[in-house]
Chains A and B, each alone.
Chain A
Amino acid sequence: MSRQLLWMTLCIFAVAACGASLLYGAAELSAADVWECLIDNCASPADTLIFWQIRAPRVAVGFLVGVGLAVAGATLQNVTRNSLTDPYLFGVVAGAGLGASVATLLFTESFTAKFGISWSDPETAFSLALPAAAFLGALFSVALVQLLVASALGRRTEHLLLAGVAVSFMLGAFSHFLLFLAEPFAANKVVFWLMGSLARAETWYAWVMLPVVTLSVLILLLFGRQTDALLLGDESARSLGVNVRLLRMISLAICAALTACIVSYCGGIGFVGLMIPHIVRNWLGVTSRTLILGCVLLGGTFMVIVDIFARVALTGQEIPIGIITSAIGSMFFFLAIRQRSQ
């Protein structure tokens, strides 16, 4: 298939997946109702509520989460020169989770009462503190993995993977402990961080994610050629005039930002960042700009489709989306390892 055709197909799939996702859900909305909502006003106030408060935000958040995870995964893989990593395996998700847990702890009533902190608008303060704390946590985990690898392990693929997994478990344990301290119903929260879900998607999530994701993608596209130079190693890139250390820092910070805003609102969703870049590389090529744009289209589409499945597979309840991505992703991971060893 020619490349143009492939790009067109991806675009069509993206639109089709979003359209389909608007149609399916617990409440009945016919195709005609959805169309009416999209081009004009919905037929009834109930439809308006379902469409604009539930369906549309969910599709938008789902797509952005897919884009963010896939792009973060692709970038991580490029700058660590390791195709078997993603924000989940690299410990970034756990770091962001730890940040989010700390923020949660700081905003519990018992904590604020104890230290006499009073927020004039606790809800807004919390909704801003959450992604900010998650971002710091994500940066911390990235730094920790880099430090581990640089100090003791060396830049081998396996070492990077193991360091990521170790950091992931360590920070995960820590944040779960914090949550148990903070909340009487901590188990719910822990499950949410662990599995990830789009069930709480609200319109303003999308409005926070949109600028973060857009800006990240633009910056990464800007540095595309520089990132390409890394394909033949750090030394080669440096001889071509690339400030490798700076490039790596910018890229990892972007990964942290993307992961942080996703984890804050939707919990840890694994393996999307591993799978999607793999597929895009095989279909479209390895150069960074192609890879990033491919990840935008395919990552978003994949997430939206998985989300449809999560909502309709079991009647009466929905499956947390992280369960499905992990199930598919772990198998994919296995296949990828097998492919590498051959």
Chain B
Amino acid sequence: MSDKCVLQAEEVSLHILNKAILHQVSFTARRGEVVGVLGPNGAGKTTLLKVLSGQRDSQGLVYWNGRAIGDYTIQALARQVAVVNQINDVVFSVTLQQVVRMGLLPHKSLLSRQTKSDDRLIKQAIKAVGLEEKTQQQFSSLSGGEQQRTLIARALVQRAPLLILDEPVNHLDVYYQHQILQLLHDLASQLDVTVVMSLHDLTLAAQYCDALLLISEGKLVASGSANAVLQPDLLSSVFNIDCHVTQRDGKPSVSFSPKRKPVLDLAGWKP
């Protein structure tokens, strides 16, 4: 991680129908830093990531490498920012390999051909996410976790210095949660890729992220190191559930004590 601050959000706000989805969110990230975006459902995590990746306009400014995101051409931006989103409408039976190959697109002009080194890159990326057995399988037939890993492989092929992921470990089993987060961590530490991702698992976030952003109702309520952000009182009020934070291997570990009160009032309800 270098000291240079490459990603900068300045008072990012977004209103939809007079409702503030994001309210004056400002933060910075350094090159090679892994940033975790935390917050309850509907807090604005996904929207923030979309603004950061230039997929949504907002009030306020986002700078990447000292240049406003909106000033990049669409193809130049794709060479700088790779996005991994959940995909849920695949219409034709495209294969895993074809999806990964799409990552070459920002680096190709209309006339250029696919080279041997492109093929190697695709193969490496598929291997990195552990899917080399399923190269020719249809994307839509893969499990949610495998689709997620395929899209991460596509982002690897895209070779962008900023990687933005919306809940990349959703749908993944414990093994692959750690595997993927370690992969992202390695990308950051070894290749100086800056990673910004939203996560639900607070302990995992503490383990793998260099910095955390905690968002609640569109506002940034805390940011900084895991120890600074994962405060029991703050978490309890943001997530509306009792949180306990203990230290494990120098990192905070979060556990919850739910009130175990019935949520549903089933009196008089007979199926």
Contact = CB atoms under 8 A, between A and B. Distances in A.
Interface of A: 81-83, 222-223, 225-226, 228-229, 231-233, 235-236, 238-243, 281, 285-287
Contact of A240 (B76, B87, B111, B158): B158
Given A222-B111, A228-B98, A240 B105 contact: yes
B105 A82 contact: no
Nearest to B82: A239
Given A235-B85, A236-B85, A229 B105 contact: yes
B133 interface: no
Contacts of B77: 241
Contacts of A235: 55, 85
A231 B106 contact: no
Contacts of B111: 222
A239 B53 contact: yes
Contact of A231 (B94, B103, B108): B94
Given A225-B105, A226-B105, A232-B99, A241 B87 contact: no
B102 A281 contact: no
A231 B92 contact: yes
Contacts, number: 74
Interface in B74-95: 74-79, 81-83, 85, 87, 89-95
B269 to A, nearest CB: 34
B47 to A, nearest CB: 13
Given A223-B110, A239-B55, A232 B90 contact: yes
Nearest to B83: A239
B interface, how many residues as a size bin? 20 to 34
A170 B77 CA distance: 43
Contacts of A81: 89, 91
Nearest to B106: A241
A112 B129 CA distance: 70
Nearest to B90: A232
B77 to A, nearest CB: 7
Contacts of B85: 235-236, 239
B29 to A, nearest CB: 19
B167 to A, nearest CB: 15
Nearest to A291: B92
B82 A281 contact: no
Contacts of A229: 102, 105
